[in-house]
């Protein structure tokens, strides 16, 4: 499937993005793998100029509202993030002696990798990011609300600020979440 309709046109604008695990595998039910995403996002903030305005990790996908510092293209930072995080998570799965779903997950990621010439062995993330440019305040607020209400709709928490793996506490609570937020 071509993702030409889902390209980032303005590389320096704020975008809402969704990164989805292939076959919607529920990888992020394990904190170990979610923590790899957190560390990868923090690295991109510190070393690649990524600005994280909002985020939410669900069991099989992550929603983000992102931009860059204006030096690097957003597509380049996303490419690097997805490449590094996929390798790190696959490696963590392979080396996790307590992972009961190891063979099954590696089989799915291996099968997906065989059908994609961009990969050597495994494919972790789906190719598309479904970027939506947040060109107006209404679009930005709508996407931010959708992102933060995701754990509520999933029945995980009752309030946005109670979900650990999101920026809900930054926007709705009295604290700071796991990732430093660049408020817009």
pLDDT score of 74? 98
pLDDT score of 4? 47
Length of the chain: 184
Where the chain has pLDDT below 50, the residues are 1-4
d(CA 150, CA 154): 6
Residue 78's contacts (CB-CB under 8 Å, 6 or more residues apart) are 8, 17, 66, 129
What is the per-residue pLDDT across 116-160, written as a single tens digit (0 to 9) for each?
777 778 999 999 999 999 999 999 999 999 999 999 999 999 999
pLDDT score of 3? 45
Residue 24's contacts (CB-CB under 8 Å, 6 or more residues apart) are 60, 61
pLDDT score of 120? 72
d(CA 141, CA 78): 22
Domain boundaries, the chain: 15-172
**Which phi and psi angles does 155 have, rounded to 5°?**
75, 20
Look up the CATH superfamily of 15-172: Transposase IS200-like (3.30.70.1290)
| pTM of the shown model | 0.94
């Amino acid at each position: 499937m071509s993702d030409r309709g889902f390209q980032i046109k303005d590389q320096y604008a704020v975008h809402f993005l969704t990164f989805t695990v292939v076959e919607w595998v529920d990888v992020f039910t394990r904190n170990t793998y979610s923590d790899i995403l957190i560390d990868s996002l923090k690295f991109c903030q510190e070393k690649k100029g990524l600005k994280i305005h909002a985020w939410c990790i669900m069991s099989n996908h992550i929603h983000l509202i992102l931009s860059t510092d204006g030096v690097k293209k957003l597509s380049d930072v996303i490419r690097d993030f997805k490449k590094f995080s996929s390798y790190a998570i696959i490696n963590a799965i392979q080396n996790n002696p307590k992972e009961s779903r190891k063979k099954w997950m590696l089989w799915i990621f291996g099968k997906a990798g065989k059908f994609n010439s961009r990969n050597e062995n495994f494919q972790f993330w789906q190719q598309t990011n479904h970027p939506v440019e947040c060109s107006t305040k209404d679009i930005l607020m709508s996407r931010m609300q959708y992102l933060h209400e995701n754990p509520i709709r999933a029945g995980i928490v009752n309030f946005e600020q109670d979900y650990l793996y999101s920026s809900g506490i930054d926007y709705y609570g009295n604290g700071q979440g796991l990732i430093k937020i660049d408020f817009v």
